[in-house]
Amino acid sequence: MKSILLHIDHDAALDARLQVALDIARACGGHITCLQSISYEVFAPGDFYGSAIAAAMPVIKENAEKLRAETEARLAGEDVAWDWRFVYGIAPQRLLEHSPLADVVIVGPSDLGSGGRGPSAIAGDLVLHAPVPVLVVPGEAASLDVTAPVMVAWNGSSEAAHALRAAVPLLKAARKVWLVSVAEEKDKPRFDFPALEGAQYLSRHGIACEVVEVPRGAAGIADTLFSAAQMRECGLMVMGAYGHSRLAEMLLGGVTRKMLSEPSMPILLAH
């Protein structure tokens, strides 16, 4: 992955995703584009003349400039190519605009001001609309060892196939790849790609993988997948996102929503 688009903001997971971006850039000989977006579209009830917004502007800009200076100082000491894009506007929209010439977009698991609670609306918007995979990095991720085992969550869907294909550059670096399915009853008939077809696709790229089906048991699918990844000492999970509509996921819950609410490791997502 040569072109890495990194979201810059004041959230608690920034240091983690910056380090992960550096790890990927070093492993792939890549370039990091840091995108910092700030918006003055603040809704203040009763503030018909915009006085609250006008008062907030200098503070917002000062904080943004401080964050940029701190982050650039850190990047200056790294042996990785990078550039900085400072733009005005809503972050999901600006990231989406810059994503067509990226190989991956790296974001955090929760939005600024959410109190660290996920799932991130930014990640959800990007997964559905960006033409590239989205890597969600939790704040607890100290780094990403690209040679560590990787688990691909496989349910036979087209979304899972898209994620598998998008992850090939990282899967090539991993010393072990697991293609893991959770045994479950299907709620409706659909066309599925058998796990062996996913393994055959990887083999054509010179990637060997082990196909495993794990029982769901009493735990939910998300917890089962995280447990399976942790047991295999995986450093990254790859999965398709929003197999149902995103509205259904948000209203009824779903695997994607659960995975993004409390991710225990970096997750590469594609729709």
For the segment 142-189, what is each residue's pLDDT rounded down to a tens digit?
Answer: 999 999 999 999 999 999 999 999 999 999 999 999 999 998 766 556
Domain carrying residue 40: 3-136
**Domains identified in the chain, total number:** 2
Three-class DSSP category at 112:
coil
Report which residue type is found at 196: L
Please give the structure tokens belonging to residue 154.
Answer: 């496989």
Residues 17 and 66 in one domain: yes
Query: Does a structural domain hold residue 87?
Result: yes
Query: Does a structural domain hold residue 144?
Result: no
Residue 94: pLDDT above 60? yes
CB of 137 closer than 8 Å to CB of 18: no
CB of 257 closer than 8 Å to CB of 241: no
Three-class DSSP category at 12:
coil
Cα 55 from Cα 211, distance rounded (Å) = 58
CB of 155 closer than 8 Å to CB of 213: no
| Domain end (from 94, 113, 136) | 136
Residues 119 and 239 in one domain: no
Cα 177 from Cα 169, distance rounded (Å) = 12
Residues 20 and 129 in one domain: yes
Q: How confident is the model at residue 242 (pLDDT cuts 50, 70, 90)?
A: confident
Residue 154: exposure state from Cβ atoms within 10 A (0-12, 13-18, ≥19):
buried
Q: DSSP string covering 98-112, please? A: HGGG-SEEEE-SS-T
Q: How confident is the model at residue 134 (pLDDT cuts 50, 70, 90)?
A: very high
